Amino acid sequence: MNNLAIKAVGITKRFPGVTANDNVSFELRVGEIHVLLGENGAGKTTLMNILAGLYSKDSGEIYVWGQKVEIKSPQDALKLGIYLVPQTPKLVRSMTVLENVVIGLKKAGIILPTRKVRDLVEGLTKSYHIIVDIDAPVYRLSASEQKRIELLKALIRHARILIFDELTTSLSPSEKADLLKFMRKFARSGGAIIFVTHKMHEVFEVGDRVTVMRNGRVVGTFDVSEVTPDKLTELMFGKSIKPESIPRLTKPGDVMFRIDNLWVDLDGYKCVRGVSLDLHSGEILGLAGVAGNGQKELVETIIGIRQPSKGKIYAKLNGKFVDITDKPTIWRLKSGISYIPEDRIRQGIIPDMTVMENVILGFRFSEDAISGLLINWSKIKAQVSEIIKKYEIATPSADVLAKYLSGGNIQKLIIAREFESKPTILIAFNPTLGLDASSTRYIWEMLIEMRNKGAAILLISEDLDEILSLSDRIAVISEGEIRGIFSREEARLDDIGRLMVRAK
């Protein structure tokens, strides 16, 4: 027992209608990086939340450092050295990075933040290559920068068992490499890491051992050196899925969408600097870039919730080429521009409204049921039930609040809403961020199908694999400027990577 950091035996956790963990047993050895692999909804996050004190288990036993423990709260978990790095950062958005890091920290002192603590945090950022401006307010930071704050929070609290819940989903390749280096160092010096993921290649990049979960059960634990990706895939999905090549493109058509020398200011800072892009019907234009290089502001300007300081946006809607720079958002949506936002919970849905109410957001779905004086909910409900089936959204009914859906199903809900409006122009911002392999594949196929039907798609993604697999043309954005545009044939991973990170 001495070499075990965590031993969990027979953990069971039920939610209304679902058994999220069914008699799960799991062992974490001291000094190892243990990958927990499984699809969305396999029960990984539930198990981790139990270990971190966020959920209470229905039955089972947990031993930490050889002692039987009851983890009743995150504080209990932290006392045992367990720190959960959450999937979406839990931060106070109006405070600075430094303030967020030291919130609740005893040694931080009464007057925040003291010189000593500041030096400590700065030291940590340097020694672990965590590149973030510690005095910047959190709301200014991109999703991936926000995730780095969670790392700092773990480090300063002397965590010995780190749980990474899908952390690497939006890190750039170099950031990822740095993180992996850090994880090794952390594990080898007496810590232990649980790395939750659904990405096969990460198992082999970081893992010492791997445990596979499916449908709330553990289906096997292996040394990474003794297992193959095929074997793991089979365990994850229950059957062998062969990767298929995605059908290639038809000929691109007319220009459907044009951004002309667009500039966007945010609090005096020029986030978007003279971006010009043409988007044709029947093509996917991939916009590659590291998070926080103006993509968010560009997209928000396209959709009309932010005003440009200079430049024009044109779209071909209902057969006519029009200047839409000053058109309201609702006009753009109704004229055939669809939008899949990056931050699905804050921007994509209204968590406290039902699935069915979320599907009509933007008033494009089931227009006949909305057009009268009263909204005909029973009609909408029938149509939404169809949609739920068609898009394989896992929810007990259309009346469930959207916040009770898992991340993957929330994204499916958004995709369903945006695709059902039959857009001619689709703006997809990190559409598969944090989704499991089968959902990702499903969404990719939907995008391809949409393109083959003639839609013009702008795909903004931090995932280079995604950009390279789907795009017909690839543009690279860095510091708010387009640094290069490639056709699919001439696009090479290393060229794009270099343009993404190179300063001018």
Note the residues at the interface with other proteins (CB under 8 A): 15-16, 56, 72-73, 303-305, 328-334, 339, 341, 346-353, 357, 360-363, 370, 373-375, 377
Closer to other proteins at the Cβ: 55 or 486?
55
- CB of 65 vs other proteins, minimal distance in Å: 21
**Pairing verdict, β 310-317 and 425-429:** unpaired
- CB of 329 vs other proteins, minimal distance in Å: 4
Closer to other proteins at the Cβ: 108 or 340?
340
Closer to other proteins at the Cβ: 351 or 497?
351
- The rounded distance, in Å, linking the Cα atoms of 53 and 75 is 8
Closer to other proteins at the Cβ: 282 or 304?
304
- The rounded distance, in Å, linking the Cα atoms of 282 and 477 is 22
Closer to other proteins at the Cβ: 113 or 304?
304
**CA 136, 137, 142: angle at the middle one, nearest 5?**
85
Per-residue tokens: 103: 């919130």
Amino acid at 15: F
Give the sign of the dihedral formed by CA 456, CA 462, CA 463, CA 464. positive
DSSP state of 19: E
| Contact between 87 and 31 (Cβ < 8 Å) | no
Closer to other proteins at the Cβ: 31 or 351?
351
Closer to other proteins at the Cβ: 82 or 232?
82
Closer to other proteins at the Cβ: 235 or 340?
340
Any bridge partners for residue 217, and if so which?
Answer: 214
| Contact between 85 and 151 (Cβ < 8 Å) | yes
Smallest CA-to-CA distance from 471 within 270, 230, 277, 232 is with: 277
- The rounded distance, in Å, linking the Cα atoms of 145 and 136 is 11
- CB of 402 vs other proteins, minimal distance in Å: 10
Smallest CA-to-CA distance from 423 within 303, 330, 334, 305 is with: 334
**CA 260, 263, 267: angle at the middle one, nearest 5?**
160
Per-residue tokens: 125: 């950022």
Please identify which residue in the block is written with the tokens 């780095």. 148
Is residue 78 within a helix (H) or strand (E), and if so which, with residue range?
helix 74-79
Q: Is 140 exposed, middle or buried (0-12, 13-18, 19+ CB in 10 A)?
A: middle
Q: How many other CB atoms sit within 10 Å of the CB of residue 245?
A: 6
Closer to other proteins at the Cβ: 322 or 493?
322
- CB of 76 vs other proteins, minimal distance in Å: 9
- CB of 370 vs other proteins, minimal distance in Å: 6
- CB of 39 vs other proteins, minimal distance in Å: 22
Closer to other proteins at the Cβ: 227 or 303?
303
| Contact between 69 and 58 (Cβ < 8 Å) | no
- CB of 393 vs other proteins, minimal distance in Å: 18
- CB of 327 vs other proteins, minimal distance in Å: 10
- CB of 48 vs other proteins, minimal distance in Å: 16
Question: Dihedrals φ, ψ of 78, to 5°?
Answer: -65, -35
- CB of 72 vs other proteins, minimal distance in Å: 6
Three-class SS of residue 345?
Answer: helix
- CB of 338 vs other proteins, minimal distance in Å: 10
- CB of 333 vs other proteins, minimal distance in Å: 5
DSSP state of 365: T
| Contact between 236 and 39 (Cβ < 8 Å) | yes
Please identify which residue in the block is written with the tokens 């109410």. 357
Closer to other proteins at the Cβ: 363 or 444?
363
Closer to other proteins at the Cβ: 193 or 264?
264
| Contact between 136 and 96 (Cβ < 8 Å) | yes
